[in-house]
C-alpha cells in the first residue's frame, strides 16, 4: 500500500477525489464512512441501507451536517446532490451501483446473496467493486472475478479484513523468494459449534453488533470462510477437513507448522489454518533453502529456522477498506482475489437435528455452521456451500446434528441470485 497517501493528496490537489458508493450502513459501513471523511482524495458520496436512519447517523457521526444529506431513490436528484457536493442516503442499492458519478462500490452487507447481486450489478455498470463480504466471495467470487477481468474493472476483497491482511504478508514473502509454508490467523474466541443469536444477544447488544455476526464468529464459520478466501487467492488448501485449529503463541508457530515426520504437526505444506492463542493477528510461515538467507534471518533474530514467522498483530477491518478502494482506482489491482478459482469450499453442517420440511436460516443462525474442505472433495460428494444457505432453502431429508448437508438434501423454494451465479460458475 506504499505511496497511496501521496496519490490521494495529489488527486485532491488537482481538485478531484475518488467517489465511493457504499451498500450497508451497519458497524463496518459506519466506521468506513468516518475514516474516509478523515482522508484526502476520497469521499463516500452515496450510501444505501434499508434503514435510512442508519445512513443518516453514519454521515452525522462522520461530521457531515444533516443539511448536506439528501435522502432519495431518484437518479436525477442524486446526481443533483452530488453536483452540489452533498451526499446521498438511499434505500436502493441499485442506485449506488448505477450512479454514473460513482467510481468504486463497496459491499458491506455481509449477506451472501445481497453481496452477489451488488457485485454483479457493479461490474455490469463498469465500476470497481470492493467486497467486505467474504461469504459471497468464497461462493461465487471466481465467476465475478472473471466477469470483472473481462469488463476491465477490479474485483477485490478488502484490506483490513483478515484475508486481505494475510495476503499482504504472502505477497511480501513470495516477492522476496521465500517459500511460504502456511498462512493463518488467530481465532478471537473459543469455538462453540452450537452458538446462535440467542447465545450472543447480550454480548452483541453491548458491542452494538449483530447477534448473527457474533454467532458466525463463535461457531467457527467466519474463520472457515476467511481461510477459504485465502486458499482461493493463493492456491493453498486446508491440511485436513475443518483445519487443525492449533493452540499456541506466536513463538510456537514455526515449530508447529512443520510436517509430522520432521517433528511438527502438519501433513503437508502450503496450508491454511487458524490458531487459538495469537488473536487478533495474522501470520505467514516462511522458509528458505539458501544458507546465507538462513544465516541472515538468524542474525536478525527471526529464529533458528528452518521456519520463520511473519506476524501482524492487528487488522483494522473496514477502517482499512479505503486502501483497497484506492488501490483499485489508482493501480487497477486487487488487494485479494480468487486467482486460483475454488481451492476450498466451506460447506454447511447441521447445527442441530434437521427434519424434512425444515427451512434453513443462514450463516450465524440456528441451523448450520461452516466447515472448510478442499474444493474437489466437496464437489465429489455434492456438499452444499454455506454461502447458498438462506431462508429459501428447504430440507427434503432429515439430517443429524454434525452431518454435512448435500445438494440432494435440500430444495430451493425461490431461486436467488447467488444460486444462479453459482450454477453458472460450476458450468465453467
pLDDT at 428: 85
- Give the integer Cα–Cα distance in Å for 422 and 304: 46
pLDDT at 204: 86
pLDDT at 415: 87
pLDDT in tens, 31-57: 999 999 999 999 999 999 999 999 999
> Is residue 200 scored above 90 in pLDDT?
yes
pLDDT at 210: 86
| Mean pLDDT on 251-280 | 96
Strand spans (E) along 188-260: 237-238, 246-247
pLDDT at 188: 78
pLDDT at 360: 97
> Is residue 76 scored above 80 in pLDDT?
yes
Task: List the alpha helices (DSSP H) in 125-196.
Answer: 134-151, 162-175
- What percent of the chain has a predicted confidence (pLDDT) above 90? 95
Closest CA to 107 of 213, 230, 21: 21
> Is residue 1 scored above 80 in pLDDT?
no
Closest CA to 365 of 227, 226, 214: 214
**How far, CA to CA in Å, does 43 sit from each of 141, 234, 421?**
26, 32, 31
> Is residue 327 scored above 90 in pLDDT?
yes
Of 374 and 205, more confident? 374
- Give the integer Cα–Cα distance in Å for 304 and 260: 19
Under 8 Å between Cβ of 212 and 364: yes
Cβ neighbours of 294 (radius 10 Å): 18
> Is residue 133 scored above 90 in pLDDT?
yes
pLDDT band at 201 (very low <50, low <70, confident <90, very high): very high
| Mean pLDDT on 382-399 | 97
> Is residue 120 scored above 90 in pLDDT?
yes
> Is residue 176 scored above 90 in pLDDT?
yes
> Is residue 394 scored above 80 in pLDDT?
yes
- Cross-sheet strand order for the sheet of 87-90: 69-71, 87-90, 42-48, 18-23, 104-107, 128-131, 155-157
* Single pTM value for the model: 0.96
Under 8 Å between Cβ of 143 and 428: yes
pLDDT in tens, 269-315: 999 999 999 988 999 999 999 999 999 999 999 999 999 999 999 99
pLDDT in tens, 51-70: 999 999 999 999 999 999 99
Burial (CB count within 10 angstroms: exposed 0-12, middle 13-18, buried 19+), residue 304: exposed
- Give the integer Cα–Cα distance in Å for 52 and 322: 23
Mean pLDDT of all residues in the chain? 96
- Give the integer Cα–Cα distance in Å for 254 and 278: 13
pLDDT band at 411 (very low <50, low <70, confident <90, very high): very high
Amino acid at each position: 500500500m506504499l505511496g497511496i497517501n501521496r496519490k490521494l493528496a495529489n488527486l485532491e490537489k488537482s481538485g478531484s477525489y475518488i467517489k465511493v458508493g457504499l451498500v450497508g450502513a451497519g458497524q463496518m459501513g459506519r466506521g468506513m464512512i468516518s475514516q474516509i471523511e478523515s482522508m484526502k482524495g476520497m469521499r463516500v458520496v452515496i450510501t444505501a441501507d434499508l434503514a435510512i436512519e442508519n445512513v443518516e447517523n453514519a454521515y452525522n457521526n462522520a461530521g457531515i451536517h444533516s443539511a448536506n444529506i439528501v435522502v432519495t431513490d431518484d437518479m436525477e436528484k442524486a446526481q443533483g446532490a452530488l453536483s452540489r457536493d452533498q451526499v446521498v442516503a438511499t434505500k436502493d442499492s441499485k442506485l449506488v451501483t448505477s450512479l454514473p458519478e460513482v467510481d468504486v462500490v463497496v459491499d458491506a452487507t455481509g449477506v451472501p446473496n445481497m453481496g452477489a447481486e451488488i457485485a454483479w450489478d457493479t461490474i455490469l455498470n463498469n465500476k470497481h467493486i470492493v467486497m467486505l463480504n467474504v461469504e459471497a466471495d468464497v461462493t461465487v467470487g471466481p465467476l465475478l472475478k472473471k466477469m470483472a477481468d473481462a469488463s476491465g474493472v477490479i474485483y477485490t476483497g478488502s484490506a483490513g479484513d483478515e484475508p486481505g491482511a494475510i495476503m499482504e504478508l504472502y505477497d511480501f514473502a513470495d516477492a522476496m523468494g521465500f517459500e511460504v509454508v502456511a498462512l493463518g490467523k488467530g481465532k478471537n474466541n473459543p469455538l462453540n459449534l452450537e452458538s446462535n443469536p440467542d447465545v450472543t444477544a447480550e454480548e452483541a447488544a453491548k458491542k452494538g453488533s449483530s447477534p448473527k455476526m457474533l454467532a458466525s464468529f463463535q461457531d467457527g464459520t467466519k474463520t472457515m470462510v476467511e481461510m477459504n478466501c485465502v486458499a482461493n487467492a493463493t492456491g493453498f488448501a486446508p491440511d485436513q477437513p475443518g483445519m487443525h485449529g492449533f493452540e499456541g503463541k506466536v513463538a510456537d508457530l514455526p515449530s508447529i507448522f512443520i510436517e509430522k515426520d520432521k517433528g511438527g504437526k502438519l501433513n503437508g505444506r502450503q496450508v491454511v489454518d487458524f490458531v487459538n492463542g495469537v488473536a487478533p493477528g495474522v501470520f505467514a510461515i516462511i522458509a528458505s533453502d539458501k544458507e546465507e538467507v538462513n544465516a541472515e534471518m538468524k542474525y536478525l533474530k527471526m529464529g533458528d529456522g528452518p521456519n520463520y514467522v511473519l506476524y501482524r498483530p492487528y487488522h483494522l477491518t473496514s477502517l482499512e477498506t479505503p486502501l483497497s478502494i484506492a488501490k483499485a482506482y489508482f493501480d487497477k489491482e486487487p488487494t485479494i482475489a480468487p486467482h486460483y478459482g475454488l481451492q476450498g469450499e466451506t460447506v454447511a453442517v447441521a447445527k442441530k437435528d434437521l427434519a424434512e420440511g425444515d427451512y434453513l436460516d443462514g450463516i450465524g443462525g440456528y441451523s448450520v455452521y461452516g466447515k472448510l474442505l478442499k474444493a474437489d472433495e466437496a464437489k465429489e460428494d455434492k456438499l452444499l456451500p454455506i454461502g447458498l444457505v438462506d431462508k429459501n432453502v428447504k430440507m427434503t431429508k432429515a439430517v443429524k446434528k454434525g452431518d454435512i448437508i448435500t445438494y440432494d438434501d435440500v430444495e430451493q423454494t425461490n431461486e436467488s441470485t447467488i444460486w444462479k451465479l453459482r450454477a453458472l460458475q460450476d458450468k465453467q
